[in-house]
Structure 1
Amino acid sequence: MEGGRGDMKPVTHLGVGIGWRPEIAEAVERLPGLDWVEVVAENICPGHLPAPLTRLLERGVRVVPHGVSLGLGGADRPDAGKLAALGERASALGAPLVTEHIAYVRTSSPVLEAGHLLPVPRTREALDVLCENVRIAQDALPVPLALENIAALFPWPGDELTEARFLTELVERTGVRLLIDVANLHTNRVNRGEDPAAVLDAIPLEALAYVHVAGGVQRGGVWHDTHAHPVPGVVLDVLAQLRARVEPAGVLLERDDDFPPEGELENELRAIRGVLAAGPDEPARKAPRATATAAAPDGNEPPGNEPPGAEVGAGDGAGGSGGGLDGARTRLGLQQAALLSALVAGTPVPEGFDRQRIRVQARALAAKRASVVAKLAPELPAILGGGDAYRTAFLGYARGRPMTGGYRRDALDFAEHLLIRNLPADPAARRRLTAWWRERAGARPPGRLTRWARALVGKAA
């Protein structure tokens, strides 16, 4: 593979699996015919694996770690500690590969955390940065890496490459494998007008590691990739389109919330197996994949090529308009920081973005932030008197306080925010919150004078 990381080894056959989550751990153990599972890498500790996961490993069920926090599409080089942790989990699980996302999740100047996967601009500079980040990750990891296409509520203005060309050149330049999420292809069809069939026709399916299938819901003309709803027929249709082109080595059902009864999970896995069993379609259904540089015989651009006016040819790492790759990182960092600040800190939306879609994304990020904190610290909703009271209080706190240190730090900061304001109003509940905060923060809660001073500063801000 020219410009890549050498010839790919054969893809490991995985079969049909499901995303392992603690809430459905017992149900997963009982699922008939389960071939493998995928775990969120950041949610497990190699030396203290959950007993149900250990039992699956002992049965010979493969376990693949799926990372969500590297942010390989970000402007900064990958964090060495996060890479080491991901590699440690792969080794502990005996995994044949690890997976991550083509996304950014944070900025370093200013320090902001999205708490979610955000799309990267599909520009030459962003691709140059991503490719170097992927090479750094590949060199640090003990097993092959596969990257997932993400769902997006909005496009970046000024994209120079289509999704298919972006993915194709990423593979050609790095040799990285692809994790194709067919639910995300459907999401991007609704939200960004991108045709899943055109993407599947133009990307290098020989690099396919495995496939994700998940549910979502459409509200107000926007598709939300919730992983909390049943897999709809339109997503299974995209899976069928992929199966018509290639036999995937693995397909995995994702479910992250509102877990259904065990029988419904079985039915969804059965539906996936049914699509896969249908086999490939007639060869005529598969269009030839466009290469990175070839033009169609009639002189028109081949499928997956750039929009009109975009620069043609693979990036060489020069970083576009000056300053080399470091300059590209600086420019990308400024762009990503401006967008993330608009999403989580209420600053103006950068020019060219759909303001309505950015508002929808901002609300989704805040809602997810509240939900994750409630899962990590279920005592907080209980102390505040229920989910509605907790949600109102948390969203009020989050409105002016972007996350900067992860969800666990966010839970502590939220509790301290309440204590500074002498909340909850009920003294008994406030004592419970004080004890909870003290136990986890390892320090005395702020005294009355400190609370008063901080409250004044908050009002002034």
Structure 2
Amino acid sequence: MGEGAMRGEAVPRLGTGIGWRPEIADAVERMPGIDWVEVVAENVCPGHLPESLLRLRERGVTVIPHGVSLGLGGADRPDAGRLTALAERAEALGSPLVTEHIAFVRAGGALTVSPSLEAGHLLPVPRTRDALDVLCENVRIAQDALPVPLALENIAALFSWPDEELTEGQFLAELVERTGVRLLIDVANLHTNHVNRGEDPARALAELPLEALAYVHVAGGFERDGVWHDSHAHPVPRPVLDILTGLAARTTPPGVLLERDENFPEPAELERELTLIREAVTAAAREGAGTGTGGGTGAAIAAGPAGGGVAILTRPTVDARERVAVAQAAVLSSLVAGTPVPEGFDRTRMRVQARALAAKRADVVAKVAPELPVILGTGYRETFLEYARERPMSGGYRRDALNFAAHLLRAGRPEEAGSRGELREWWLERAGPAPRQSGGRVARVARRVLPGRRG
């Protein structure tokens, strides 16, 4: 078992932080009162850390890697390579803990004898006994592989699973009791689930084992047609700050962090939001409510893995993993491959989720391959969404960008010869004269659509 999963260290006092992003790196370095930052783990390389992060570390600012691709709520056991990568980032950054999500991000494959599919985003796990058993074992596998404690985040959801057996608070409380994992509570996600799924944030807070709290996320979003979208691109609304105050009335959060991923405002506006967050926490203290003693109805955490739980070693049966795998594959296939929506799901909400996944996919491909929107111009987004409707993602965003380009070239697009030539050159530069084995499909496409290519 990894040292981080055994030490039983106290939760570090983090203070006030902000999500570090390259677009606001300079501003973050200049902001007063920043005690710590969080970085998306998959966006940094341990051997080539951004200079801004290195300077922050030299000043004593804590840096925590926040993973998005493990998919611990998925039916498969965690991928060893992804766990190793997360551990390497924690060690390179000197982090006191690492964080991930209670979500699944891929489905299909060997357990279902069906094609592997990638969601490209975080999807909610069913709050069932089967799913909890699978999640608990996956968490213990992750704890064994990581050098520091692990904390898991509740996610925002656009749809609900039918026939759930536990509330969110009950689900999280039992997860903590059985694994000792810590919690990263996102109060914006509690608000999202209140709007989208009718769940009471106060009840969730009352049921949470807040003694396991590692830190808190705060973020903005927007409502459209009765659906709340957790955009991380809008100001933090008052209801989210009120939930933060409600949490602080039950326990003093070890740390609170502002997340912002897009549409970055001026630094002064970010600093104003940080001030509002601090005020939301201190509002509970002024009323004499924030005692720092923890709260919720979850069992007290004894010494155990990752600084917490009793590590009840109930393991999921093979049948449980297979049942979860089949259910998640059916859901993901309906969202990204156009298969029928499984019985019991709200079809309208599933359509909203499907559109959101496609939009997210288009946005991220544009970020990892910024040349594509330049080459395709204003037609990029419509063209990509047309492509995505027929072709689910199965190999990550960079591979998706290559496959998209190959698809266009095979179809003789773009129609303008100059743009088509640019796209061809872009593809060749990134695919290389001898693509890796995993790019075999794209290589076969290239042989059909790129005449004269030498290899």
Q: What TM-score results when the alignment is normalised by the length of structure 1? A: 0.88
Report the more deviating stretch, 247-256 or 103-112: 103-112
Q: Does 1:289 align with 2:312?
A: no
* Gap change, CA 1:244 and 1:385, over 3 Å in 2: same
**Contact 1:381/1:390 (8 A) holds in 2:** yes
Shift of 1:8: 4.0
Match of 1:245, SS state, is coil
Aligned 1:6-155 pairs, distance under 5 A = 8-109=8-109, 110-155=115-160
**Contact 1:8/1:175 (8 A) holds in 2:** no
- Return the alpha-carbon distance in structure 2 between the equivalents of residues 435 and 73 of structure 1: 40
Residue in structure 2 matched with residue 349 of structure 1 by the alignment: 341
- Return the alpha-carbon distance in structure 1 between the equivalents of residues 255 and 143 of structure 2: 21
* Gap change, CA 1:446 and 1:7, over 3 Å in 2: closer
**Contact 2:96/2:148 (8 A) holds in 1:** yes
Match of 2:23, SS state, is helix
> Quick one: higher RCO (CA 8 Å, sep 6+), 1 or 2?
2
Provide the alpha-carbon RMSD of the alignment. 2.3
Shift of 1:134: 0.3
- Return the alpha-carbon distance in structure 2 between the equivalents of residues 284 and 440 of structure 1: 54
Shift of 1:248: 0.5
1:336-375 deviation line (CA, Å, top 9, x unaligned): 0000000000000000000000000000000000000001
Match of 2:296, SS state, is coil
Residue in structure 2 matched with residue 222 of structure 1 by the alignment: 227
Shift of 1:447: 8.1
**Contact 2:245/2:281 (8 A) holds in 1:** yes
2:239 to 228, 234, 239: 234
Residue in structure 2 matched with residue 303 of structure 1 by the alignment: none
1:384-407 deviation line (CA, Å, top 9, x unaligned): 123xx0001100110100000000
Residue in structure 1 matched with residue 279 of structure 2 by the alignment: 274
Letter aligned with residue 146 of structure 1: A
Shift of 1:287: 11
Which residues of structure 2 form unaligned runs of 5+?
A: 110-114, 301-310, 435-442, 451-455
- Return the alpha-carbon distance in structure 2 between the equivalents of residues 352 and 190 of structure 1: 20
* Gap change, CA 1:396 and 1:279, over 3 Å in 2: same
Shift of 1:10: 1.2
- Return the alpha-carbon distance in structure 2 between the equivalents of residues 221 and 130 of structure 1: 31
- Return the alpha-carbon distance in structure 1 between the equivalents of residues 73 and 230 of structure 2: 20
Which residues of structure 1 form unaligned runs of 5+?
A: 294-313, 320-324, 453-461
Shift of 1:274: 1.3
- Return the alpha-carbon distance in structure 2 between the equivalents of residues 75 and 156 of structure 1: 16
Report the more deviating stretch, 438-447 or 362-371: 438-447
* Gap change, CA 1:451 and 1:199, over 3 Å in 2: same
Report the more deviating stretch, 273-282 or 195-204: 273-282
Shift of 1:85: 0.5
Shift of 1:450: 2.1
* Gap change, CA 1:399 and 1:199, over 3 Å in 2: same
Match of 2:46, SS state, is coil
1:396 to 380, 386, 390: 386
- Return the alpha-carbon distance in structure 2 between the equivalents of residues 223 and 448 of structure 1: 42
Letter aligned with residue 141 of structure 2: I
Shift of 1:278: 2.4
1:284-313 deviation line (CA, Å, top 9, x unaligned): 9999733469xxxxxxxxxxxxxxxxxxxx
- Return the alpha-carbon distance in structure 1 between the equivalents of residues 224 and 81 of structure 2: 39
Residue in structure 2 matched with residue 417 of structure 1 by the alignment: 407
* Gap change, CA 1:353 and 1:138, over 3 Å in 2: same
Letter aligned with residue 296 of structure 2: R
- Return the alpha-carbon distance in structure 2 between the equivalents of residues 433 and 176 of structure 1: 47
